[in-house]
Amino acid sequence: MDVLNVIDIKTLEFSFIVILCVTLYAVYTSCTCLYVTCVGILYVCLKFIRHKSAVRIKIKHQGVFITGCDTGIGHDVARRLDSLDFTVFAGCLYPDGEGAKKLKSESSKRLHIVPLDVASDESVLKAHDYVVKHLPKNGLWAIINNAGYNTRGDVECLTIDLYKKIMNVNYFGAIRTIRNFLYLVRRNKGRVVIVTSVRGRYSWPNNSAYHITKHGLETVGDCLRLEMLKFGVKVSLVEPGNFAHATACQSESHYKRYEEEADEMWKIANDDVRKTYTKKYFLYYARRKSSKSGNNATTKPVIDALEDAVVSGLPHTRYLVDGSWFDKDTTLARYYYYLPTWLSDWIITKMTGCDKFPDYSKMKLD
């Protein structure tokens, strides 16, 4: 029998108050062991209270607009929410592509494939008009901002055009979507969910363009959450850890694009950068694949978090989602702000080897 089902919420709240008083007594008497024990019990009580008091909304075919549904997380969450009886508007960059066709064929008739390029004002406006025209009677309940992509390169190597391109999709794309659809969600006191990344918690070498967008979205989400309090709209950030092998991030098309971007960076680089880094350095990071170690092969944990953010009566502000039972990226994220900079820099250096040039002999290069 589930312990949570036999413990009354009032009992939990009373226990919480008692343990809190004991904790304060432990602080007053400087009893470290009692204090640590009480803090642990308080944490468990809070988890139990949230679980017992949380309720799910009643789903009556409300609309949910999702960006980036061609593949990966967006594709999977569209199917999940469709199965829960939401009316899903799945924004796809390639509405006639295999991903969109598969999504349509494996979902209910309520699901709509909506052509969407979040980097285009015109495309977002057309998507908005389509959604408004096909909204169910219960309106739009949630926006899930998921569309995005990655690009690689050191700050000294990346071009300004690549910085602008990724910002236009990952960062401004989310803002375009929010600005155009938020009033519909506000009417229902609904939800805004932004998929950021564990990379929005701290910085990583050779990935500044991507990290800037994710740090920016974290800030947008925090500001928006405070601004929406007066309207009853809840805003959540979902921060996936290492899920590269569960999405399209490891596809050949992605690596082909990385190589094309590496060539673009090499062509525009000055003589000193070329001499210092070499072409092999550019190609190494373009072709380097993520390790399968500590990498979840399914997006289910992220989809579970997204579902909770949409349907829970008490959604979390942040969902930091582990890519495995021990995800080194999310583990570091949990303690990063408590560590001195020299120590966090040392840890990241050891994880990435960024203090030295890579060993090209371990990778076949043209």
319 is catalytic: no
Q: What percent of the chain has pLDDT over 70?
A: 85
Average confidence (pLDDT) over 75-104: 97
Amino acid at 335: Y
pLDDT at 244: 76
What span, in angstroms and rounded, lies between the C-alpha atoms of 300 and 297?
9
What's this model's pTM, rounded to 2 decimal places? Answer: 0.86
Q: Give the closest residue to 212 by CA, choosing from 202, 224, 223.
A: 202
176-201 core/surface letters (b: 16 or more CB in 10 A; e: else): bbbebbbebbeebebbbbbbbbbbbb
CA geometry: angle at 201 spanning 183 and 283, to 5°? Answer: 105
Confidence of residue 1 (pLDDT cuts 50, 70, 90): very low
Comparing 2-16, 39-53, 111-125, 222-236, the range with the smallest average pLDDT is: 2-16
Residue 14: pLDDT band with limits 50, 70, 90 = low
How many other CB atoms sit within 10 Å of the CB of residue 229? Answer: 10
| The residue type at 88 | V
Looking at residue 183, the DSSP 8-state letter turns out to be: H
pLDDT band for position 5 (cuts 50, 70, 90): very low
**Domain regions of the chain by residue span:** 3-53, 63-248+294-337
- pLDDT averaged over the chain? 88
Which residues sit opposite 145 in a β-bridge?
194
Of 43, 130, 183, 210, which one is the catalytic site residue?
A: 210
163-214 pLDDT, tens digit per residue, is 999 999 999 999 999 999 999 999 999 999 999 999 999 999 999 999 999 9
What's residue 6's pLDDT?
Answer: 42
When mean pLDDT is compared across 16-30, 83-97, 170-184, 306-320, the lowest value belongs to: 16-30
Q: Give the mean model confidence (pLDDT) for residues 260-265.
A: 94
User: Which DSSP string do the residues of 111-139 spell out, in sequence order?
Assistant: -EEEE--TT-HHHHHHHHHHHHHH--TT-
Superfamily name and number for 63-248+294-337: NAD(P)-binding Rossmann-like Domain (3.40.50.720)
pLDDT of 209 reads: 96
Tokens found for residue 101:
């066709």
Residue that is written with structure tokens 């080897």 in the block: 353
217, β-bridge pairs = none
Name the residue with tokens 């549904």: 69
CB-CB neighbours of 147 under 10 Å:
25
Q: Both tokens of residue 248?
A: 């399209």
pLDDT (average), residues 10-34: 68
